[in-house]
């Protein structure tokens, strides 16, 4: 369960609507955690912090320390990688081998 496949991690992260909103906030602007959390009245900073951790582990955002603050920004390169995977998924066949390899690896971890 340590280190999910990058594609899994990214898709799972994006499946959560709140994380999509967070990601959109830092899509073009670099923002500190406090400003991000301030946009949500219905969840605590802690929850936002945990969402940011998930996004960071999926490499969808990058973190930069500036004194006591931490500035987050979307990683467009990682998003491009996911987009590329999905494009090859729709269009079909080339991706087949790689995904089978991924699932085989997942099997090894299970048994």
Partner DNA sequence: ACATTCAGTGAGTTGACACTAACGTAAGGG
Partner DNA sequence: CCCTTACGTTAGTGTCAACTCACTGAATGT
1 binds its own copies (CB under 8 A): no
Nearer to its own copies, 69 or 96 (CB): 96
Q: Which residue has the tokens 């467009």?
A: 76
Nearer to DNA, 17 or 92 (CB): 17
45 binds DNA (CB under 7 A): yes
99 binds its own copies (CB under 8 A): yes
Nearer to its own copies, 57 or 70 (CB): 57
98 binds DNA (CB under 7 A): no
Supply the DSSP string of 4-69, one letter for each residue: --HHHHHHHHHHSHHHHHHHHHTTTS-EEHHHHHHT-SSS-HHHHHHHHHHHHHTTSEEEEEETTE
Residues 12, 87 contacting (CB under 8 angstroms) = no
Kindly state the helix (H) or strand (E) to which residue 101 belongs, with its residue range.
helix 95-110
Binding positions for its own copies, rule: CB under 8 A? 5, 8, 11-12, 14-15, 17, 20-21, 24, 27-28, 42, 76, 79-80, 83, 86-87, 89-90, 92, 96, 99, 102-103, 106-107, 110-111
């Amino acid at each position: 369960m340590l280190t999910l496949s990058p594609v899994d991690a990214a898709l799972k992260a994006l499946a959560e609507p709140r994380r999509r909103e967070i990601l959109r906030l830092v899509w073009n602007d670099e923002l500190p955690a406090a400003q991000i959390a301030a946009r949500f009245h219905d969840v605590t900073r802690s929850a936002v912090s945990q969402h940011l951790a998930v996004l960071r582990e999926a490499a969808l955002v990058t973190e930069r320390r500036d004194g006591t603050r931490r500035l987050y920004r979307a990683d467009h390169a990682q998003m491009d990688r996911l987009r590329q995977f999905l494009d090859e998924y729709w269009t079909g066949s080339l991706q087949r081998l790689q995904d089978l390899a991924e699932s085989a690896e997942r099997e090894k971890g299970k048994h």
